[in-house]
């Protein structure tokens, strides 16, 4: 198993300067935890969690649950997704599983199937 904690190829962009990257178009097995912004360009068989945002690049795939502050995906996820803030599904993104989020942006061309709960927990906590 490889942890891709390294200065990644997007050095020019601030958001990715210190972010860990699971890349190389490899396949990883096991659960992963990002303490910062996470960027995935690989296939992962396992759960993925982050205290911050996770970005799934095009062609990436997660076979497991995803929990993060926010999620921006162009890849596919087979499992439950839970995000306290925003979730964005770009064109060609695919999620098969339940989705919980604070806000949602699902662009035309994205596929989703499952139970959808957006803004529900957040509102209940406020009240």
**Burial zone of 25 (CB within 10 Å; 0-12 exposed, 13-18 middle, 19+ buried):** exposed
CA–CA–CA angle 27, 30, 87 (5° rounding): 80
Query: What minimum distance in Å lies between the beta carbon of 94 and another protein?
Result: 10
105 makes contact with another protein (CB under 8 A): yes
Pick the stretch among 8-16, 20-28, 43-51, 110-118 that binds another protein (CB under 8 A): 110-118
Q: Is 46 left (phi over 0), alpha (psi -120 to 50) or beta?
A: left
108 makes contact with another protein (CB under 8 A): yes
Query: What minimum distance in Å lies between the beta carbon of 97 and another protein?
Result: 11
58 makes contact with another protein (CB under 8 A): no
**Burial zone of 68 (CB within 10 Å; 0-12 exposed, 13-18 middle, 19+ buried):** buried
Q: Which of 15, 18, 26, 120 lies at the binding interface for another protein (CB under 8 A)?
A: 120
Query: What minimum distance in Å lies between the beta carbon of 53 and another protein?
Result: 15
Pick the stretch among 10-18, 24-32, 57-65, 119-127 that binds another protein (CB under 8 A): 119-127
Residue whose C-alpha is closest to residue 113's, from 88, 80, 65: 80
Residues interacting with another protein, by CB under 8 A?
86, 89, 99, 101-120, 123
């Amino acid at each position: 198993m490889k942890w891709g904690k390294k200065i990644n190829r997007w050095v020019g962009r601030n958001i990715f300067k210190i972010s860990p990257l699971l890349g190389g178009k490899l396949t990883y097995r096991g659960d992963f935890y990002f303490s910062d912004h996470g960027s995935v360009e690989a296939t992962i068989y396992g759960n993925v969690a982050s205290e911050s945002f996770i970005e799934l690049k095009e062609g990436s795939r997660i076979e497991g649950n995803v929990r993060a502050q926010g999620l921006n995906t162009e890849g596919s996820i087979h499992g439950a997704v839970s995000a306290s803030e925003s979730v964005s599904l770009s064109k060609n993104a695919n999620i098969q599983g339940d989705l919980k989020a604070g806000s949602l942006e699902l662009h035309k061309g994205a596929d989703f199937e499952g139970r959808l709960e957006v803004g529900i927990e957040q509102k209940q906590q406020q009240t």
